[in-house]
């Protein structure tokens, strides 16, 4: 017959096993700094947008991860993650300068950046950026576009005026203060539908030749000791989403407004 002491010891051992089991299964919280760029990412959208949806589900596929998004102005999101305050920042196009501070994930989205213009001020066929030297081009501060674009702007070979937000550039376009504004097709029409009256939206169109067709990535800080493992697990999750056809399905949802609340 077991003594009370033996029963108590067995109870303690069972309790410890249960506690360690719970601890072993505890979720790892991944903190991601991001900004507003509808319909790809936004605090107001379902799943916080397509890209945030992909990131959350990729981490779920990879293991016991919980993702938390913190929304900031883009520059602050970038700089805070660079310092290691956050595990990663979402989402960014490729730039050689960023490779010094960040590790790039597998792509989480793809979009063509084109030149929007008024129908009353058409953009004729162009082959190289210097063909646009006679145009006033709007650009949003902090965006990548291409290195050539910014180099030509800095040298004065392109007349580029910057604004702090995409909607401000569209307002300048409608007011004929700029001739062209480069933006992704999906994000561009999403913003027009959200922020502008239908009476003016029909006045704008875009030239089909893209400035760039870019892939967006989750960037992991080189100043965070967990980055290598998080990157490995995240990429594994993205590949699984691809193999299951979920990325294609979710992109179709995106194009029909499925991420609107």
Tens digit of each residue's pLDDT (9 = 90 or more) over 129-176: 999 999 999 999 988 899 999 999 999 999 999 999 999 999 999 999
Helix axes 227-243, 246-255, angle to 10 degrees: 80
CB 50 within 8 A of CB 256: no
Which DSSP string do the residues of 162-207 spell out, in sequence order?
EESSHHHHHHHHHTTS-SBEEEEHHHHHHHHHHHS-HHHHTTEEEE
pLDDT tier at 38, thresholds 50, 70, 90: confident
What is the predicted pLDDT for the residue at 21? 45
d(CA 50, CA 66): 17
Q: CA separation (Å) from 56 to 62, 141, 234?
A: 10, 28, 9
Lowest-pLDDT range, 3-12, 156-165, 211-220? 3-12
- pLDDT of 1 > 70? The answer is no
β-pair partners for 138: 161
CB 56 within 8 A of CB 47: yes
pLDDT tier at 22, thresholds 50, 70, 90: very low
Lowest-pLDDT range, 13-27, 59-73, 123-137, 169-183? 13-27
CB 79 within 8 A of CB 42: no
- pLDDT of 15 > 70? The answer is no
- pLDDT of 19 > 50? The answer is no
What is the predicted pLDDT for the residue at 3? 58
- pLDDT of 20 > 50? The answer is no
Angle CA 211–216–220, to nearest 5: 140
- pLDDT of 71 > 50? The answer is yes
Question: pTM of the predicted model, to two decimals?
Answer: 0.72
What is the predicted pLDDT for the residue at 9? 56
pLDDT in tens, 184-206: 998 898 889 888 998 889 999 99
What is the predicted pLDDT for the residue at 77? 96
* Among 236, 247, 242, 239, residue whose Cα is nearest residue 62: 236
Signed CA dihedral, 254, 243, 213, 234: sign only: positive
CB 185 within 8 A of CB 251: no
CA 48 to chain centre: 11
Cβ neighbourhood burial of 7 (10 Å; 0-12, 13-18, 19+): exposed
When the pLDDT of each residue in the chain is averaged and rounded to a whole number, the result is 89
């Amino acid at each position: 017959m077991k003594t009370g002491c033996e029963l108590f010891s067995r109870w303690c051992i069972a309790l410890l096993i249960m506690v360690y089991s719970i601890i072993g299964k505890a979720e790892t919280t991944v903190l991601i700094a991001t900004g507003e760029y509808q319909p790809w990412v936004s605090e107001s959208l379902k799943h916080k947008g397509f890209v945030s949806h992909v990131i959350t589900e990729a981490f779920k596929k990879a293991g016991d991860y919980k993702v938390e998004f913190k929304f900031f102005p883009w520059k602050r999101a970038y700089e805070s993650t660079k310092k290691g305050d956050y595990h990663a920042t979402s989402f960014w196009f490729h730039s050689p300068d960023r490779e010094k501070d960040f590790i790039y994930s597998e792509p989480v989205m793809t979009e063509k950046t084109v030149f929007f213009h008024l129908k009353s001020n058409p953009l004729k066929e162009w082959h190289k950026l210097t063909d646009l030297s006679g145009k006033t081009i709007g650009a949003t501060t902090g965006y990548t576009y291409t290195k050539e674009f910014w180099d030509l702007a800095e040298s004065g070979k392109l007349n580029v005026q910057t604004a702090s937000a995409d909607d401000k550039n569209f307002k300048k376009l409608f007011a004929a203060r700029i001739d062209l504004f480069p933006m992704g097709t999906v994000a561009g029409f999403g913003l027009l539908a959200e922020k502008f009256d239908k009476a003016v939206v029909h006045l704008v169109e875009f030239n089909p030749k893209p400035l760039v067709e870019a892939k967006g990535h989750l960037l992991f800080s080189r100043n965070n000791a967990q980055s290598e493992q998080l990157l490995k697990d995240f990429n594994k999750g993205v590949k699984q989403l691809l193999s299951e056809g979920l990325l294609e399905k979710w992109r179709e949802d995106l194009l029909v407004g499925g991420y609107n609340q």
